[in-house]
Amino acid sequence: DAGVIQSPRHEVTEMGQEVTLRCKPISGHNSLFWYRQTMMRGLELLIYFNNNVPIDDSGMPEDRFSAKMPNASFSTLKIQPSEPRDSAVYFCASSPDRAFTYEQYFGPGTRLTVT
């Protein structure tokens, strides 16, 4: 298996633009997570899905952020409009089970820079 795939790897955009990050989880995994990592705050959970259904989006910072999982092999995280404080590395991870007693497999991340 190729592991979790994320695209793009790097994104540079101007404030106010829409940004869409993409993720393909490991085949057969039924849980998918979106995280954001910054030096100040570390790795923070934004939202997670189980069997394509959003379970907890309490970590989504504000309405400018939205996430979808239209099928078991694809998810998107959208920021509209983007702001400089959204600059961070965004990770997607998948897990074989909903329980948090299982390991998570992380993608390589998308480094987002908003100018």
Partner 1 sequence: SQKIEQNSEALNIQEGKTATLTCNYTNYSPAYLQWYRQDPGRGPVFLLLIRENEKEKRKERLKVTFDTTLKQSLFHITASQPADSATYLCAHSSGNTPLVFGKGTRLSVIA
Do 90 and 35 meet the contact criterion of CB atoms below 8 Å apart?
yes
52 binds partner 1 (CB under 8 A): no
Q: How far is the CB of 59 from partner 1 (least distance, A)?
A: 8
Put residue 82 in one of left, alpha, beta given phi > 0 → left and psi -120 to 50 → alpha: beta
- What is the contact mask toward partner 1 in residues 22 to 51, using x (rule: CB under 8 A)? -----------x--------xxxx--x---
**Contact pick of 51, 80, 103, 115 for partner 1 (by CB under 8 A):** 103
**Contact pick of 56, 61, 80, 84 for partner 1 (by CB under 8 A):** 56
12 binds partner 1 (CB under 8 A): no
4 binds partner 1 (CB under 8 A): yes
Residue 86 sits at φ, ψ, to 5 deg, of -80, -10
Q: How far is the CB of 93 from partner 1 (least distance, A)?
A: 7
Tell me the residue type at 65.
Answer: F
Nearer to partner 1, 62 or 99 (CB): 99
Residue 74 sits at φ, ψ, to 5 deg, of -155, 135
107 binds partner 1 (CB under 8 A): yes
**What single-letter DSSP state applies at residue 25?**
P
In 39-73 the beta strands, taken as DSSP E runs, fall at: 42-50, 53-56, 65-71
